[in-house]
Each structure stands twice: as structure tokens, then as C-alpha cells.
Amino acid sequence: MSINELLHILRRHMVLMIVLPLVGLVCAGGYSATRTPMYRATTSVYFSLPYGDSAVDLSQGSAYTQAQIESYSVLAKSPRVLESAASKLPFDATPAQLASAVQTTSVSGTVILQISATDASATHAALIADQTASSLRDIARDLSPKDAKGKPTVDVATIGQAKIPSVPSTPRTKRNLALGLLAGIVLAVTWALLREKVDTRIRSMEDLELGEIPSLGSMPLPRRRDHGHIAVLDAPTSSSAEQFRRLRTGLLFTQDGKDKSVALTVTSSCSGEGKSTLALNLASSFAEAGQRVLLVDADLRRPTIAERLDLEGAVGLSTVLSGQAPFEEVVQPMGGESGLDVLAAGTVPPNPAQLLGSARMQELMHTVNAIYDVVIVDSPPLLAVADAALVSPLTSGCVVVVRQGQTHLADIQDALSGLDNIDTHVLGLVLSRRLPRLRRSDPYTYESESRGAKRERRGVRHRARQERGYPLRRSSQRVGDFR
């Protein structure tokens, strides 16, 4: 994994990278705040032999004393020494309390033993260290061998008194905060890498590199409140509309100019990935390029095209396939000079798969391919139902939409495998992304329409259809004539 890839992963988990270190800081700060401040005072005891005049005697005495330092270290924490020290302290303390408060450290290569005492009171800590050193000095002299005159062969001296500490030794707040921050960062990085390892959702264009199937590009998904927004129609100068035009150009290159007409199936592996948004904007972009386009809503289970275009949705593809009306009577032009016609889904039938797999569907596709330059079919998701597998072989190719951060790699692979089994040519994959919040100062972005603007836009469409003499209206009485 390169540094850029690691930084990309950490940027995707930015919230985690901020929250966990903060949690580490809070935990470390809380731990330090709840701990009782403890003070540590230290004194030193020097051991030597009082006899010997030559260098050899002094060297031997020093070596002997160094060998006994570990013994004196154990002696300093013995009950005899601690009982003596406790009896001399000006406050109440038991030998057991002193045993937990006193620590000894021998300085390597020397005859010096350091005695430290820890207590919640700085003064008490200094007194405990001094009294323990004094008691050790007296008892070490008593226990040491005596010479011919009855004097101890080991001399013990205290090197100064313990200083009263002004700063507590524990808790070490700065160190704890640094450790808490470091632990939070390490945990956040580890968690992000583990999530990246087990998370198979598609998050970038690089994740769409699946063998020989090309990635056509990305497309924007409008926010939920802008569900009816069609970028190419409603904001033709926006950057969102330009992305759909680039997708249109890429699809034209996949055709190699072999066919006079283009028929595309737009689908996805699962629902909610933006297939209908792509179908609507692709059809609009082809139409604005001067081609005659038909948009077919073949999602007979959850149709959305008619609602988003504010068209009559009760008659359409299901009406034609069930033989209730010919194609010419139910197709709806968008009006104006757009050259875009729409065949809505119609009333949801009880047998969508049977209708889409019928001979009438094949005849209809043959007819519209001869009439229109471009036919775009919005079909249901591949993994949800078998409808897309019935429609896609009737077109020249299939475009599969993949939702960023939602679609899993296994779902795409299963969907593409199903298309491969029916010999459907996959023209490419399109990554759909949710539109970010845009700054109003950016002239190359569209702003969400007000309700009044949306009503005005829909009114323009209605008037354009009426000018062309289109007979259908939004009324149950007219729809009932086809039943």
C-alpha cells in the first residue's frame, strides 16, 4: 500500500481519525484527574569499610561493599527497619504502609543505595525517606561483623536529607495525555485499515476496474429534496449536466459508429443506485444533440419516469404489451423542439416478467429502433428481479450504474455474471455520487429550485405538449378508455 492510498483511506475515515484520538485524550485526562497526587522524596545512603590504609585494602573493601548492596537493599524494606522507622515518625504509620511507600534502588558500580518514599503529603514523603535511611544505618551497623575492638566493619552514612518535593510525581498528566492521544491515533488507523480490508463497497473509479468492462465515468445524484431535478433539462449550463454529456459522448464511442440507431438498457445491481436518473439525463442529452430519442420505462414494478417528468403514468408500456392500445397512442412527447418522446411504464401489471419476455416486447423494440435514433430503456435492478435480463438482450448494450459507498463488489460481480450468461454486451459501468453542498458563488453549479420555479417548469412542459395537440390528459376517465 502506497502513502497516497493510506492517506486516501484515512481521509475517508476522517470522522474516526478525529473522534478516537479525542476519546483517548478525554480518557487520559479523566484518569489523571481522578488520581490522588502523590509526592516522591529520595535520599541516598553511602556504605564503606572503615579500615584499610593501602590501595589494595581499599579496593577489596569497595568490592566487598558493592557485593553487599543488594543485601542492604532488601534489608531497607525488612520489618525490622520499617518498624524502627515507623516508631520515629511524627505521624501515625504502620510498617505495612511504609513497605508500600518505600522503594530502593542501587546505583550500579557504586556503594550508594537510594531510598525513595511516596506519599500523598510531600512532607510525609521526605520524613519517611529520611527515617528509613536512618533506621537502615543503625541496623546495618548492628548486623555487620565486628572487628577485634568490637566496632562494626561496615560504615553507613546518609548523603544529605531528602528534599520536600514541590511537584507531584504522579499522575503524570502530560505523559498520560500524550499516551491517550497516541493510543487513539493507533486505534483509529488500525480500525480504518481493518474496515477498508473487510469493506467491499465501491468508493472510487479505481474500484470499478473490473477486467475488460470499461468505466464510463461518474454521474451526480441529486439530493433527496431535489428528486425531481433533471440536470440536463433544468440546469443545462451546470457542471452536473456536463457530466451527463460526457457520458453520452463516451457511450457513442463504444458504438464505433456501426449501427445507425442506438438502443441502450440502463440498469443497476440493486435499487437506489441512480439508474433512472442516468436514463433521464442521457435521454435528454441525446435529444439536445439533435437526435430523436425514446425513453422507455421498463420498470413495471416500481416506475418513476412519469412522476419525475410530470407525465401521465397510468398508460404506457404495460398498456401496449397487454394489447389495450397501440404504441402511437400512448407515447408522450416532451414538447418543444427537444425531440424526446417518453413511453411510461403504465399501470403496474400482475405479471411484469411475462410481459417483458413476450413476443410483443420484441416487436415493439424492433419498431421503435426503426423510428428513433436512440432508444434508452430504464429496467429494474439485475439482482432484484429477472426483468432486466429479459430486456437487455433486445438492445445493443447495457449500462450498469454503481452507487458510490453503497454497492458491494460482490453484487456487481453477480450482476455482470448474470448479463454474461445471457450474452448481453455490457457497454460500461457508471459511478453515481451524491451531490455535495454547493457554494452559491460558484457560477458553474446549479442551485436547488424553489417550488415556484418547479411549478413553472412543469407548466412549460404541459403547454408544449398541448401546442403539439397531444390528446392525453391526467384524468381517470381518459385512462379508463384503455382498459
Rounded average pLDDT over 197-220: 80
How many other CB atoms are there within 10 angstroms of residue 441's CB atom? 6
Phi, psi at residue 329, to the nearest 5°?
A: -90, -15
Asked whether the predicted pLDDT for residue 40 surpasses 80, the reply is yes
Task: Encode pLDDT of 83-138 as tens digits.
Answer: 999 999 999 999 999 999 999 998 777 788 899 999 999 999 999 999 999 999 99
Rounded average pLDDT over 427-441: 70
Asked whether the predicted pLDDT for residue 482 surpasses 60, the reply is no
Instruction: Provide the pLDDT for residue 449.
Output: 46
* Cα separation, 164 vs 188, whole angstroms: 42
3-state SS of the chain?
CCHHHHHHHHHHCHHHHHHHHHHHHHHHHHHHHHCCCEEEEEEEEEEECCCCCCHHHHHHHHHHHHHHHHHHHHHHCCHHHHHHHHHHCCCCCCHHHHHHHEEEEECCCCCEEEEEEEECCHHHHHHHHHHHHHHHHHHHHHHCCECCCCCECCEEEEECCCCCCCCCCECCHHHHHHHHHHHHHHHHHHHHHHHHHHCCECCCHHHHCECCECEEEEEEECCHHHCCCCHHHHCCCCHHHHHHHHHHHHHHHHHCCCCCCEEEEEEECCCCCCHHHHHHHHHHHHHHCCCCEEEEECCCCCCCHHHHHCCCCCCEHHHHHCCCCCHHHHCEECCCCCCEEEECECCCCCCHHHHHCCHHHHHHHHHHHHHCCEEEEECCCCCCCCHHHHHHHHCCEEEEEEECCCCEHHHHHHHHHHHHHCCCCEEEEEEEEECCCCCCCCCCCCCCCCHHHHHHHHHHHHHHHHHCCCCCCCCHHHHHCCC
* Cα separation, 45 vs 114, whole angstroms: 6
Task: Encode pLDDT of 247-283 as tens digits.
Answer: 998 888 776 555 567 899 999 888 888 899 999 999 9
What are the residue ranges of CATH 3.30.70.1130 in the chain? 39-159
Task: Encode pLDDT of 45-89 as tens digits.
Answer: 988 776 555 544 555 556 666 667 888 888 999 999 999 999 999
Rounded average pLDDT over 183-199: 87
CA 62, chain centre distance (Å): 65
Nearest in space to 321 (alpha carbons), one of 382, 397, 390, 399 = 390
165 and 38 in contact (C-beta within 8 Å)? no
* Cα separation, 68 vs 73, whole angstroms: 9
Task: Encode pLDDT of 321-374 as tens digits.
Answer: 999 999 999 999 886 567 899 999 989 888 888 999 899 999 999 999 999 999
* Cα separation, 465 vs 326, whole angstroms: 19
Cα-Cα-Cα-Cα dihedral of 379, 220, 248, 200, to 10°?
A: -60
Asked whether the predicted pLDDT for residue 464 surpasses 70, the reply is no
Instruction: Provide the pLDDT for residue 104.
Output: 92
Instruction: Provide the pLDDT for residue 1.
Output: 65
Instruction: Provide the pLDDT for residue 229.
Output: 75
Instruction: Provide the pLDDT for residue 266.
Output: 92
Residue 375 pLDDT class (50, 70, 90 cuts): very high
What are the residue ranges of CATH 3.40.50.300 in the chain? 205-480
Q: The dihedral of CA 448, 450, 451, 456: what is its sign?
A: negative
Instruction: Provide the pLDDT for residue 185.
Output: 94
Size of the chain, expressed as the number of residues it contains: 483
CA–CA distances in Å: residue 404 to residues 142, 266, 332: 83, 17, 33
The CATH number corresponding to 39-159 among 3.10.450.50, 3.20.20.10, 1.10.1040.10, 3.30.70.1130 equals: 3.30.70.1130
pTM, rounded to two decimals: 0.61
Task: Take residue 235 and report the three cell numbers written for it.
Answer: 440546469
Residue 474 pLDDT class (50, 70, 90 cuts): very low
The arrangement of secondary structure in 205-480, i.e. its CATH architecture, is 3-Layer(aba) Sandwich (3.40)
* Cα separation, 192 vs 188, whole angstroms: 6
Asked whether the predicted pLDDT for residue 381 surpasses 80, the reply is yes
* Cα separation, 249 vs 121, whole angstroms: 80
* Cα separation, 29 vs 31, whole angstroms: 5
14: left (phi over 0), alpha (psi -120 to 50) or beta: alpha
